[in-house]
Amino acid sequence: MSCVIVTGAAGGIGQALVRAFTDTGRLVIATDLGTQPEGLPCHRYIACDLARMVADPGYGEAWFTSVRAALDGHSLDALINNAAVQVLGEIDTLDRASWHASLDVNVLAPFLLVQGLRAELEQAAGVVLNISSIHARLTKARFTAYATSKAALSGMTRAMAVELGGRIRFNAIEPAAIATPMLQAGFAGNESGYAQLQRFHPTGSIGAPSDLAQLACAIVALPGAFANGSIIPFDGGIGSVLHDPG
């Protein structure tokens, strides 16, 4: 039986990814900070602090050992690098800790996960799918650290596709606003602001985590190796909108 690893599995998008891949019949190894969310239908949940993985090689090796034990001979079809931190701040206030948090979790950790699981992914001719962001291309004030990290993640996707594309496929999705519990909580008591955000998207809607998860499953399931190095917008058309005074 084939397995998929999903990082950031406790969040709104992460839980949708776990459920969608489980529904395809795959075993899912889920990971995030803290304990397993109630009702998360994964084969195994192995907690991991990605920032600590970057800082402490011994911690990372112990986690990889646990993952290999959980695979238990099953093939690793896909690694879904979904975990991320979003540190916001004005240029004058962004400090070194903010930059380290953003780059360690959003860029270096996905790289180390590929590096540590490369043998298993190559054996299965597997897929690495990075959940990037529209902020890799289009951003706004106070998102400098986050936007930079996501641009780096999309760039790393392309670079790894060039280097390892004959053995592992690398692709990324760049979502715009997704209706996660975190986003909805941010608009609590601000229904007009939420409605305005919906209108900004040509679809008149905000993306559903389940739809993003279905797209991820479709990318992983594509036959052959030619779907490689693709950066796929999932943005309701907002990335095509020109705002001007006219």
Q: Is residue 202 one of the residues assigned to a domain?
A: no
Three-point CA angle 242, 94, 130, nearest 5°: 60
CATH code (residue 168):
3.40.50.720
Q: Is residue 11 one of the residues assigned to a domain?
A: yes
CB 202 within 8 A of CB 237: yes
CB 176 within 8 A of CB 130: no
Sign of torsion over alpha carbons 35, 41, 118, 74: positive
Domain that holds residue 106: 2-177+208-236
Mean pLDDT, range 17-38, rounded to an integer = 98
Q: How far apart are CA 41 and CA 92, in angstroms?
A: 43
Helix 144-164 crosses helix 109-123 at what angle (to 10 degrees)? 20
Mean pLDDT, range 105-130, rounded to an integer = 98
Q: How far apart are CA 224 and CA 132, in angstroms?
A: 23
Sign of torsion over alpha carbons 155, 157, 161, 163: positive
Element (H, E) at 140: none
Q: Is residue 148 one of the residues assigned to a domain?
A: yes
Mean pLDDT, range 102-113, rounded to an integer = 98
Q: Is residue 31 one of the residues assigned to a domain?
A: yes
Q: How far apart are CA 168 and CA 165, in angstroms?
A: 5
**Which tokens is 45 given?**
């949940």
Q: For a pLDDT cut of 70, what percent of the chain falls above it?
A: 100
Residue 244 binned pLDDT confidence (cut-offs 50, 70, 90): confident
Q: Is residue 243 one of the residues assigned to a domain?
A: no
Residue 246 binned pLDDT confidence (cut-offs 50, 70, 90): low
Integer Rg of the chain from CA: 18
DSSP codes of every residue in 41-84: --SEE----HHHHHH-HHHHHHHHHHHHHHHTT-EEEEEEE---
DSSP 8-state symbol, 135: G
- Whether 128 shows a pLDDT value over 70: the answer reads yes
Residue 66 binned pLDDT confidence (cut-offs 50, 70, 90): very high
Q: Is residue 144 one of the residues assigned to a domain?
A: yes
Query: Which residues, in sequence order, are CB contacts of 61 under 8 Å at separation 6+?
Result: 116
pLDDT of residue 6: 99
Report the SS3 class of residue 30: strand
Q: Is residue 168 one of the residues assigned to a domain?
A: yes
- Whether 157 shows a pLDDT value over 90: the answer reads yes
- Whether 236 shows a pLDDT value over 70: the answer reads yes
pTM of the model: 0.97
**Domain count within the chain:** 1
- Whether 245 shows a pLDDT value over 80: the answer reads no
CB 49 within 8 A of CB 22: no
Mean pLDDT for the chain overall: 97
- Tens digit of pLDDT for each residue in 175-227? 999 999 889 988 999 999 999 999 999 999 999 999 999 999 999 999 989 99
Q: Is residue 157 one of the residues assigned to a domain?
A: yes
